[in-house]
Amino acid sequence: MNIKQYIASIPGFPKEGIIFRDVTPILKNPDCMKYVTEKLSAFAKEVKADLIIAPEARGFFFGIPVALECHVGFAPVRKPGKLPRKTMSQTYQLEYGVDELQMHIDAIQEGMRVVIIDDLLATGGTVEAMIKMVEFKQAIVAGIGFVIELDDLKGKEKFKDIPVLSLTHFEGE
């Protein structure tokens, strides 16, 4: 399956100079969604995941079906102030300024093999923050799976020693 035909490219969104890669056409097509879920799940099974984590909002689209398919748990990674119980936090660099992600402190147990799933890898800042939270809990990032990787931004260089699967690649932002 050529999943690129199910990714819409929108120049100038959300600002000038960005080509936004929109995965909502994948969600609309059950065959493509099944294909993406199976590919990412096969990878997560291969690296022996026992927990899937994904960041809001677009990471949830793919992280939850992958966790179901692998028959392992799922834990959400959220923007600050959204999770009701005790959390851990990690700040990360944006193009301009910083942002923060949070997880419930008890979402990850020591020694777990955690797989991170997200729709898209750009600079890698989001994933880097998630890696820090996994490692804070003395768990292992067993692998990282993306639907899309933006090659020119070289985000993958931020996590050289971890197995990465990207189902499709784009050049240019």
Ligand X SMILES: O=P(O)(O)OC[C@H]1O[C@H](OP(=O)(O)OP(=O)(O)O)[C@H](O)[C@@H]1O
Task: Give catalytic residues, as residue numbers.
Answer: 58, 95
Give least dist CB 19 to ligand ADE, A: 6
Q: Pick from ligand X, ligand ADE, none: which does 18 bind, CB < 5 to 8 A by kind?
A: ligand ADE
- Counting contacts by CB under 6 A, is residue 124 touching ligand X? yes
DSSP label at 138?
T
Give the interface segment with ligand ADE, choosing from 17-25, 36-44, 49-57, 158-166 (CB under 6 A).
17-25
Euclidean distance between CA atoms 70 and 47, whole angstroms:
11
Window 21-50: contact mask with ligand ADE (x via CB under 6 A)? x-----------------------------
Euclidean distance between CA atoms 112 and 119, whole angstroms:
23
Return the structure tokens found at 123. Answer: 């600079």
Give whichever of 48 and 82 is closer to ligand X, judged by the CB atom. 82
Return the structure tokens found at 82. Answer: 């959204």
User: Is 149:156 a contact under the CB 8 Å cutoff?
Assistant: yes
